[in-house]
Chains A and B, each alone.
Chain A
Amino acid sequence: MQLFDRIRLGLAVGTAKTVTAIVKQLRLGAASVLPGEIARRLHPRLLPLLCEQVRQGVILVVGTNGKTTTSLLLSTILERQNAKIAHNITGANLINGLITTLLGNTNLFGQLNADYAILEVDENVLPLVLKDCRPRFIVGLNLFRDQLDRYGEVDTISRRWQQAIAPLPKTTTVILNADDPTLSYLGQNLPQKVLFFGLSETNLYLDEIPHAVDSIYCPNCGHSLDYQGVYLSHLGDFHCPSCGFEKSQPTLNSKDWPQILIGVYNKYNTLAAGLVAKEISIDIDTIFDTVKNFKAAFGRAEELTVNGKKIRILLSKNPVGMNETIRAVKDLQIQGKPSTTLVILNDRIPDGTDVSWIWDVDTEKLASIGGTLIVSGDRIYDMALRLQYSQNLANQSNLIVKEDLREAIETALESTEIGETLYILPTYSAMLEIREILTGRKIL
């Protein structure tokens, strides 16, 4: 780094740290974005200067679902090696959030102290980040139809990723989901070292392809793909009868692996983090041990206890995620017991401003449990309407609409019996609100 750069970097870092302190002092929030923005204005080359100082390398995690859980597992594994990790844990995954996270690990002279930076990156921002950062790993988890109002189409994103990753040096290793046709295809067409993770467990196949499925067409020739079986949404064992494109070969055998938490999606998260850890040469026993003892990140299958009643928060922010949480609720439901589910639909920027996606969710399965359904959130009536249309007249759940979130939670807790579990299915911003109400603690 040149002297001039160093002085300017120090100045930018100092200012940003002051801002962080002021923001925290004034209780304006957890200061996860603003300092980054200010520092970047003072020093436009801030991100590359910070990234190149990470001792063992930067790991970028992208994908629609599972970024936080995968990053947290990987970070836990690495911390057990006494590595110092910088991780944007609050989910601030745009450029300013990444800078803020790195600044948090930097002293006043602009020297960064971290062995690894694990950065969750927004799908759309990845190409921009790659202009400034030479990562050691890029982990691509999946590409679902999430917040298309911001992103455009899956094909377009994949094309942008290809263009951004291909020119990177060969020192970058790309870890991709073999079961996702778009990512499998992407990996087969990159000049870098590419490793795949995926499932090889035919006993986990779904009975039918769920409705909320995006890309079952060959990314190479456009012909419809043949699936031997589907694990989750469009993730599965596939091949193209027309051009011969097929699922890439996973490096790990998923049958040999334990998994964190519940659900097929966490199996993928486990394999993704596990594969990176293995590539860093961490021994398999340490990885397995961390997996077995892993605790959920907030809002991801997390369990709380309030007044002797268990609460399980299952983030439900897109059709695939919500179908999976409904599957989990059904699986966890003890036969015949009354159940209460609280569904909260917000449409703020982190949730996506278009709530059309709720019509792609198989909420009929939630309604068929037959318990009490309580609805709240900014788009409460859209959600209530979806649930109304999920029922035929013969089978009516008890549908309760509560505009006030606190009241909704109270009502939900009242209708949950002692010893039973209340399931809460919130979108992202709703999850933060719920946490704040339940724990009296602000997260962002």
Chain B
Amino acid sequence: MELRIGWLYPTLMSTYGDRGNVITLQRRCQWRNIPVKIIPLEQQTEIDAFNEVDLIVGGGAQDRQQEIVMRDLKGAKADAISTRIETGVPGVFTCGSPQLLGHYYEPALGHRIEGLGILDLVSKHPGPDAKRCIGNVVFEITASPLASDLKTRFGESPVVIGFENHGGRTYLGQVSPLGKVIQGYGNNGEDGYEGAFYRHAIATYSHGPLLPKNPFIADWLIQKALEVKYQTSINLTKLNDSLANQARQAMFKRLDLTSMANNP
């Protein structure tokens, strides 16, 4: 058994500690003695590598870097990512990378950039002087079947704690939102939705280290990746997440949300 984690453009798209998600997946595999490989998917990476990944991680970028990525992620590379996601390979796309999966992104300055069109959503930056959406974000995962899946596995409806910092606003089409905002801005600060969920791909503005403090998502991704790859049901051994739980409790308490504090 081996898990190959494809990391989208680590030198271009790793802005706010996004690496935390890769480290979390890697360590949680290592701690369970599941062999794991991190495969950086860069501009110069051969297409074969894109086709071989079992799990995809994408982070955020500044506008300039985002443009470079979106120009590079065309043709065979774009097809490879689309095919992987369509066949059920799980992914976690945080911060700026959901914009990449949508139809297009309109940056603060310059022209509209076409995205992969995998998720039915569009993103727009309202201009260089518009207020950024910044702060702690808390949302409940509502997307089906992810929400019920996590609930059966962990017995509670999963509440995600993160931090958002984005200039762009995202508007969903037919794709299902990932969750409902409890605190923070979410996709656009207007409709109360946060992120998007499609096949086994999780997209969210909750940037940087999403997984360390929400380890149930990390484990869901690992489990799904192995199940899709080996076509058999997988049971992961439980890890000691007491530090993660304490970090969650501390933030729930600070945000005055102790009533919904849970550690699935």
Contacts and interface: CB of A to CB of B under 8 A. Distances in A.
A390 to B, nearest CB: 8
B64 A356 contact: no
B35 interface: no
Interface in B138-179: 163, 165, 167
Interface stretch (A13-21, A151-159, A247-255, A421-429): A151-159
A14 to B, nearest CB: 38
A233 to B, nearest CB: 13
Interface string A148-178: 1100111110000000000000000000000
Interface in A211-240: 211, 213-214, 216-217, 222, 224
A356 B163 CA distance: 8
A359 B30 contact: no
B209 A149 contact: no
A30 interface: no
B134 A153 contact: no
A392 B30 contact: yes
Contacts of B11: 213, 216
A202 interface: no
A386 B243 CA distance: 10
Nearest to B247: A381
B27 A389 contact: yes
B17 A385 contact: no
A354 interface: yes
A154 B15 CA distance: 11
Nearest to B210: A356
Contact of B62 (A149, A153, A388): A153
A241 to B, nearest CB: 13
A148 B16 contact: yes
B68 A385 contact: no
Interface size class of B (residues with CB under 8 A): 35 or more
A392 B10 CA distance: 22
Contact of A356 (B23, B31, B68, B209): B209
B199 interface: no
B128 A156 contact: yes
Given A148-B16, A392-B30, A359 B165 contact: no
B219 interface: no
Contacts of A224: 43, 68
A145 B17 CA distance: 11
Contact of A385 (B63, B64, B244): B244
A359 B68 contact: no
Given A356-B163, A381-B250, A382-B247, A389 B63 contact: no
Contacts of A386: 20, 212
Contacts of A214: 62
B54 interface: no
Given A216-B11, A357-B16, A360-B17, A385 B247 contact: yes
Interface in A281-295: none
B212 A389 contact: yes
B256 to A, nearest CB: 16
Interface string B67-89: 11000000000000000000000
A444 interface: no
Contact of B14 (A152, A211, A217, A222): A211
A149 B250 CA distance: 21
A358 interface: yes
Contacts of A211: 10, 14, 19
B6 interface: no
Nearest to A153: B62
A355 B161 CA distance: 13
B132 A152 contact: yes
A359 B209 contact: yes
B79 to A, nearest CB: 24
Given A211-B19, A356-B17, A358-B17, 17 more contacts: A148-B16, A155-B62, A213-B11, A217-B12, A222-B64, A222-B67, A353-B135, A354-B165, A356-B16, A356-B163, A356-B208, A357-B17, A359-B23, A360-B16, A385-B243, A389-B20, A401-B243
20 contacts: A148-B16, A148-B165, A149-B134, A152-B132, A153-B63, A155-B64, A156-B108, A217-B12, A354-B165, A355-B163, A358-B17, A359-B23, A360-B19, A381-B247, A382-B213, A385-B243, A385-B247, A388-B243, A389-B20, A389-B24
